[in-house]
Amino acid sequence: MDTEMSVAERTPIANWDAYANSFSSVMPEQMLRLNRTVASYMDGNVVDFGCGGGKIIPFILTRDSVNTYTGIDSSAQMIERARWVANHYTQSRAQLIHSRIEDVDSIHSDSALSINSYYVWEDSFLVLSHIRRCLSPGTRFVIATINPDINMPALLDDAEKELIAHPHWAEFKEHNLKISVSENANFVSLDTLIGELREVGFCVQEANSELYGGGLNLVVCSVPNL
Ligand SMILES: C[S@@+](CC[C@H](N)C(=O)[O-])C[C@H]1O[C@@H](n2cnc3c(N)ncnc32)[C@H](O)[C@@H]1O
């Protein structure tokens, strides 16, 4: 357990505002597969915790079964880009909230997601508990986050074949390599993630580490009905 002092001394694993340009515009095939997979579980009123630049928005807002999308992120630059993406969809039924997840109130939801935000959280138990409390009973929640088996250099080498000429590729690659070796990135095993989700009160339905060459945990769970 972190003491107050060690949390305060922690170096953030990335400056998400500075990363917003490259992160929002580069979409390697592995990320595309992840976004498509997670979106396929989303229906009704969707909430995205740590939405970043809204890369998943096109896959969510084009689903007939989706009513609304709410994205939450603590980076102003990321939220600005997510808003830009959402504005491409007329009658987009999207709202973007610039806030820490821990500071948002209960949201009417049918499904929810969080992609690669967990490993950034200083206190994952606290943030997961808050998410659990925010969501409506019966909500399906899909969480995806990098695990310790990630081979980031290999994934980036593969992605470079398709993205080498992209104007933000070099920056994207550098950021991801830095994140993958950061001592402050909380990459956890699938068992640890499942354990935490159960501890805060989610019912776990499916779990695998198939994406990102085995380096990404994906868990589908739900908030119990009253
Ligand atoms: C690696 S990015 C992932 C963004 C997006 N989910 C995606 O997959 O494209 C991580 C995001 O989590 C956000 N984040 C981290 N901790 C947060 C918190 N406590 N509250 C809100 N956003 C947070 C960061 O600002 C960043 O945009």
In angstroms, rounded to a whole number, what is the distance separating the alpha carbons of residues 19 and 182?
Answer: 15
Distance separating alpha carbons of residues 172 and 156, to the nearest angstrom: 9
pLDDT in tens, 175-225: 999 999 999 999 999 999 999 999 999 999 999 999 999 999 999 999 999
Ligand 1 atom closest to 127 (CA): 19
Ligand 1 midpoint to CA 4 (Å): 22
Query: In this predicted structure, what is the pLDDT of residue 226?
Result: 77
Q: What is the CATH number of the domain that holds 209?
A: 3.40.50.150
Q: Cα(156)–Cα(135) distance, rounded to whole angstroms?
A: 35
Number of domains in the chain: 1
Report the 10 Å Cβ neighbour count for 222: 18
Contact between residue 87 and residue 110 where contact means Cβ atoms under 8 Å apart: no
**Any ligand 1 atom below 6 A from CB of 30:** no
The whole-number pLDDT of residue 142 equals 98
Stretch (H or E) spanning 155: helix 152-163
How would you write the pLDDT of the chain (226 residues) with one tens digit per residue? 343 334 434 456 778 988 898 988 999 999 999 999 999 999 999 999 999 999 999 999 999 999 999 999 999 999 999 999 999 987 769 999 999 999 999 899 999 999 999 999 999 999 999 999 999 999 999 999 999 999 999 999 999 999 999 999 999 999 999 999 999 999 999 999 999 999 999 999 999 999 999 999 999 999 999 7
Q: What is the pLDDT of residue 8?
A: 38
Atom of ligand 1 nearest to the CA of 99: 21
116 alpha carbon to ligand 1 midpoint, in Å?
A: 7
Binding site membership of 117 for ligand 1 (Cβ less than 6 Å): yes
Ligand 1 within 6 A of 51 CB?
yes
Q: How far apart are CA 122 and CA 72, in angstroms?
A: 17
Contact 43, 111 (CB under 8 A): yes
Index of the ligand 1 atom closest to the CA of residue 101: 20
Q: What's the domain range around 77? A: 4-222
Distance (Å) from CA 50 to ligand 1 centroid: 4
Is any atom of ligand 1 closer than 6 Å to the C-beta of 16? yes
pLDDT confidence of residue 92: 66
- State residue 2's pLDDT score: 40
State the Cα–Cα distance between residues 38 and 220, nearest whole angstrom: 9
Any ligand 1 atom below 6 A from CB of 180: no
Give the Å distance between the CA of 129 and the centre of ligand 1.
Answer: 17
Indicate if ligand 1 lies below 6 Å from the C-beta of 111: no
Alpha carbon of 140 to ligand 1 centroid (Å): 20
Q: In angstroms, how far is the first alpha carbon of the chain from the final one?
A: 32
- The pTM is what? 0.94
- Ligand 1 mean position, distance from CA 79 (Å): 10
